[in-house]
Structure 1
Amino acid sequence: MKRHRHLLVGATMALFACVAITSPAMATACTNLRSLQLQHTVINSADDNTTGTFVPPGSSPITGLPAFCRVTATLVPSSDSSIRIEVWLPESTWNGRFLGTGGGGFQGVITYNELAIGIQAGFAATNSDLGTGSSGCNPLFCGSAGNMGNPLAIQFGDPASPSTGLFGHPERIKDFGYRAIHLMTVRGKEIANAFYGQRPQRAYFAGCSTGGQNALMEAQRFPNDYDGILAGAPAFNRTHLHMAGLYGWQNAHASPGRFIQAGQMTLINQAVLKQCVGQDGGAKTDQFLTDPRDCRFDPKVLLCKGGSVPPACLTSDQVTTMQRYYGGTIDPVNGQIINPGSQRGNETDDILALGLAFQERLPEPAFDGLFYWVFGPSFGYPASATNFANFDFHHDIAKVDDQLAAVLNATSTDLGEFRGHGGKLLMYHGWADPLIPSQSSINYFLALVGNEGPGFPQGFQPVGFFDHGNGNPALRRTQSYTRLFMVPGMYHCAGGPGPNTFDALTPLVKWVEAGVAPDTILATKFVADTPPAVQMTRPLCVFPKVAKYNGNGDTNNAANFSCVTDENDFNQKPAPKYGP
């Protein structure tokens, strides 16, 4: 859901385009693309950029670019569609491969840094605004009651006036859900073919958050689009994920005393680490948890006593807020889990992580735009029957799911056709993700494993499910085409106290083209998250293995850790009708 990048985790995105520099007097293979005729497509521009630089307005220049052809186009699969795409084509450094890329949240913009990283690696790269830009959407807001003068909402792009996002535009909802990325892929390949005179030899997709949802949707609905798919922190269970955002906002605003004050998320995180760090295979010196499912921290231990007062401790109301934060989104009538809760160890006061510290300070939840698409403008007014402050987590779920789930939720676990043509899916998720619960990706992976094992219901993890000897046959079959890597200490797609920068695309390419499945991926934590000074390295292990400290040597050196099979940890999952 977030607008952060992902080919190399940790890169900073630029979000807006500038006009590429070209010589209008001389036709080139690039400028000839202006007359290219494609179905339901308008080529808006095709220009050579040989400057080595792309300068997004209001942002720092993207430098170190090869000469490339920049193509902008608008796709109109329906009379109400307006899907912007860009295709960047390296002019002399093409590696013969095609790369589709994703964005974050409601998108509405082109994610330019994804395109830049793609062509720097030799790919013909493409990206889309998902068709939501025509409705004035941006990554965080696609329907709202306006920023209400809230400085944080203004800072993060909430429009001043109320908006309804995609309400009344069912075709644009389809574009956002699945059609934009598929058509971006089809047209992008056609444009590449026209430019190079040959089709790409292999096609890959890489995205995190909404880009991760795009990734899984491609594998499920359009299994022949890509040979290899990289899905980071996927927002695949979208309707229920957005309900979790509403739930968290209501939780913190239930009464004035329930609000978590500035600095208290850091206080809680320090208490979590004090109790749980190192017990999950990691080192005692870590500032993050290797597998937070091993942590049984109860925020009651921070309850104010004697003369202590917040923010140095928690009131009983604040303890309730945090218990529900960890407990998940719950139907208050039948107790069913709608969406998993937040993992211990993801507590942060960094508003850029888009967690509770960010959400509770907004006048309404950042990602509640989804519900404007169903309920219309009344969702922004507290006097209305259904709004962001009183959404009923028993009665209102069905209406949202009836209208949106089939279009937006990438929850199918039938990847047979994708696997059948040799497709490979590599997933990753930060264990300290404050926005999308990290166990959601585990739930999806376990559902795939459940499909491979006779008698195992989807997502079920019986004793011995992960055999410590020769391995589970269903797990092995699943890992022949899908592998999951959990990232200790990483926030949503980027950042966090753990090793949060790694190249997951290169191992995917090697898996697809050489048949070498990745068992580990080397991750790096840079000092202040800024290269080149390295703070630490750590191996990311193929799930269900975890990185365990060998007991000797520098704990900041990946060489002193080994990937070992983890014990069977409890993984909170939604009720079957809300899952996997």
Structure 2
Amino acid sequence: MKTSSIHRPRALHLVLPASLGLALSACGSLPAGSSAGGPLKAAEGAALQQCETLAAGFRHDNTSIDSATVQAAGALKLGSQPVAEHCLVKGAMFKRKGSDNRDYAIGFEMRLPKAWNGRFYYQGNGGLDGAVQPAQGALGGGPLTGALAQGFAVISSDAGHTGAQTPFFGAEPQSRLDYGYQAVAKLTPMAKALIASAYGKGPDRSYLGGCSNGGRHAMVEAARGQSYDGYLVGAPGYRLPNAALAQLWGAQQWAPLAVAGATTKHPLNPNASIPDLSGAFTKAERQLVASAILAKCDALDGAKDGLVQATQACQSAFNLKTDVATCSGERNGQCLSTAQKDVIASVFAGGRTTGGQAIYSAFPLDPGLAGDNWAMWKFANAVALDPLSVGTVFSTPPGPVDPLKDDLNARLPLFSATNDVYRESGLSLMTPPGNDKPVSLARLKDRGAKMVIYHGVADAIFSAEDTRQWLLRLDQALGGKADSFARFFPVPGMAHCSGGLATDQFDLLSPLVKWVEQGVPPQAVPATARGAGNPGGENKELPADWSASRSRPLCAYPTVATYKGSGSLEDAANFSCR
């Protein structure tokens, strides 16, 4: 049935603890549509007029420039490919002494290409930030074309604190706010002014992108500042506090099933150890479930190729209780115990407090759960990294967290709490305002701004289902016209931001620019695997029977990459989005 909007499926649910059968979304098509405000004027490039003189000559409130130097072609590489000549500017904004007597500033670097395309790109970084990553505008997966390589002027920042201040920055009230959203708001006008000084004109078009926490930065700015024309949102942790708490909740469920007393190395500190939870759901057992998912779902897109493209249909077709053998004796890698099935179902449901309150979103089932990145997030980061953010950044008041003993029923209200020191709650500073009903994005839509979102279906920390549900709420808030503003590209098999059993190398920035500046919405975007010799870096988890350059179209939701019925299964030309 043809429609002028995204179909709104029934609410996602899981039957617990017996199965993992997710409700199937209602089918529908997403028409091409066009921007309600029409395409914005295309950017016009300019030559770089000054570089080294910016160190002494550029002036902006609360800003210091530490250096400005010419970088020769090839001094910076994206993957193995050299980036053209550009100007590297390093500096800081709002240097101050924090309430904890530590020195704080919003550190940044900007890279200004000699041959500029007239566009500005804000590079949102991931995790707890704390480091100024090279401002190359690199995208998720194993990209060969970042924003800098495409001719954008790019900024990257540490979001207001250094790694040496992690996790202490979470207890410093202003540093919390800078990490949440204020660093982006402060850096944006400065960056545009610096571009104007370097080129003799400001940017014609501005874009903001990132993956994980970088995707969250993009969604928060879209709701708060609306200073950009295009938003490239990867695996957005737009409900990062809830996702982190769900990790702790999951760790407490895995622990009774793990090998008693087992430990493993801390992922960030090789001299420290953490409880080893991986025995709760071993590699062999995860591969068993992945194979069962493939047996039920691989052919739903018309091709048995080791990829489940029909994600929504699969959630209904696969049932953990009946499609995976239940152990009658000892676990041997060929079955799951009843207790395991109950815990796996609960973890994929997103977790609930003892009072029944949902902690986070459900996760879609995908064979990518067999991947190492999935296990790292569920079993290691859940006890090593997530407690830091939960305790020091999202809770009021901040304090230490024991991931396996913390009272999560008491913890959840701390995310919404404020006091005389922390006047904005963790949820408020981290999440986009109006998240449940994003009507404020109508202003962006009406002026011609666009948003492209991508998310690995096998992401273990931020759920692709949570992103899909946000899109459906957006569609409702925009009166069924979300497709004229936002497009969502699920990436089957992909782990968090990249990797996994996936064709994870793609360029979504160019299609976003084409949509913003030419009015052409993206629908099918080429994606390739990163096999041996790939200049963007090899993905070591690719199955041996895949071509090293397997390709697929990434399809805008709700369309699915479907086999045409003939031709090589390694070639995207033999698949269409429908």
TM-score band (shorter)?
Answer: 0.7 to 0.9
Q: 1:40-75 deviations in whole A, cap 9, x for unaligned?
A: 1111111111252138xxxx9965121111111111
Q: 1:363 to 1:400 in 2, by over 3 A?
A: closer
Cα distance in structure 2, aligned partners of 1:405 and 1:549: 43
* Residue 342 (structure 1) aligned to one of 344, 363, 378: 363
In the other structure, the counterpart of 2:559 is: 545
Cα distance in 1, alignment partners of residues 163 and 340 from structure 2: 41
Whether the 8 Å contact between 1:266 and 1:347 is mirrored in structure 2 is no
Matched, 1:433 2:459: yes
- How many angstroms apart in 2 are the aligned matches of 1:363 and 1:89? 38
Q: 1:391 aligns with which of 397, 406, 409?
A: 406
SS in 2 for 1:30: coil
Root mean square deviation, CA, Å = 2.6
Name 1:370's counterpart in structure 2.
Answer: 389
Equivalent position amino acid for 2:132 in 1 = I
Aligned counterparts of 2:427 and 2:288: Cα–Cα separation in 1: 38
Total equivalences in the alignment:
473
SS at structure 2 position matched to 1:286: coil
Aligned position for 1:495 = 499
**3-state DSSP class of the match of 1:530?**
coil
Counterpart contact for 1:304–1:310, Cα < 8 Å: no
Runs of at least 5 residues in structure 2 that lack an aligned partner in the other structure:
1-48, 99-103, 139-145, 260-278, 418-424, 537-546
How far the C-alpha of 1:95 sits from its partner, in A, is: 0.8
Q: Which amino acid aligns with 1:549?
A: Y
- Residue in 2 that maps onto 1:219: 222
Q: Where does 1:509-528 land on structure 2 (aligned, <5 Å)?
A: 509-528=513-532
How far is 1:401 from its partner? 2.4
Match of 1:197 among 181, 187, 200: 200
Deviation at 1:541, TM superposition (A): 1.7
- The equivalent position to 1:530 in structure 2, one of 531, 534, 539, is 534
Identify the residue that residue 324 of structure 1 maps to in structure 2.
Answer: 346
Within 5 Å, which residues of 2 pair with 1:6-85?
A: 29-35=50-56, 36-50=58-72, 52-54=74-76, 64-76=82-94, 80=98, 81-85=104-108
Opposite residue 155 of structure 2, the aligned amino acid is: T
Shift of the alpha carbon at 1:314? 2.4
Query: Does structure 1 retain, via aligned residues, the 8 Å contact 2:230–2:450?
Result: yes
**Residue 404 of structure 1 aligns with which residue?**
426
d(CA) in 2 for partners of 1:213 and 1:232?
Answer: 8
Q: How far does residue 113 in structure 1 lie from its aligned partner after superposition?
A: 6.4
Residues 175-213 of structure 1: per-residue CA shift (max 9 Å, x gap): 111111222222111111111111111111121111110
- Supply the distance in 2 between the matched residues of 1:287 and 1:134 (Cα, whole angstroms): 38
| Mapped partners of 2:533, 2:499: distance in 1 | 7
Structure 1 position 296, deviation (Å): 2.5
After superposition, what is the alpha-carbon deviation per residue over 1:119-146, rounded to whole angstroms, capped at 9, x for unaligned?
Answer: 2111111111112316533xxxxx3xxx
Q: Matched residue of 2:444: which SS?
A: helix
Kindly indicate whether residue 195 of structure 2 is the aligned counterpart of residue 188 of structure 1: no
Secondary structure of the equivalent of 1:75? strand
- 1:9: which partner in 2? none
Give TM-score, length-normalised by structure 2.
0.76
Are the equivalent residues in 1 in contact too, given 2:124–2:217 (CA < 8 A)? yes
Note closer, same or farther for the CA distance 1:540–1:256 as it changes in structure 2 (3 Å cut).
closer
For 1:123, the equivalent position in structure 2 comes to 152
Label 1:260 to 1:83 Cα distance change in 2 as closer, same or farther (>3 A). Answer: same
Match of 2:230 in 1: 228
Alpha carbons 2:352, 2:359 under 8 Å: kept: yes
2:109 alignment counterpart: 86
**AA matched with 2:63:** T
- Separation in 1, partners of 2:433, 2:281: 33
Q: How much does 1:337 deviate?
A: 2.1
Corresponding letter in the other structure for 1:263: A
1:290 and 2:310 matched: yes
1:259-284 per-position Cα deviation (integer Å, ceiling 9, x unaligned): 223433223212221222222x2522
Structure 1, residues 21-47: CA drift from partner, whole Å, max 9, x if none? xxxxxxx92111112221111111111
Report the residue type matching 2:461 in the other structure: L
Cα distance 1:539–1:217, how it changes in 2: closer, same or farther (>3 A)? same
1:481 to 466, 485, 489: 485
Match runs of 1:95-134 below 5 Å: 95-112=117-134, 114-115=136-137, 117-133=146-162
CA contact (8 A) 1:265 1:347 kept: no
Q: Secondary structure at the match of 2:64?
A: strand
The amino acid that maps onto 1:315 is: S
The aligned counterpart of 2:210 is 207
Over 3 Å counting, the alpha-carbon distance change for 1:229 and 1:363 in structure 2 is closer
How does the TM-score come out when normalised to structure 1? 0.76
Q: Are the equivalent residues in 1 in contact too, given 2:73–2:82 (CA < 8 A)?
A: no
Counterparts of 1:62 and 1:113, CA distance in 2? 16
The 3-state SS of whatever aligns with 2:409 is: coil
Give the number of the structure with larger relative contact order, counting CA–CA contacts within 8 Å between residues 6 or more apart.
2
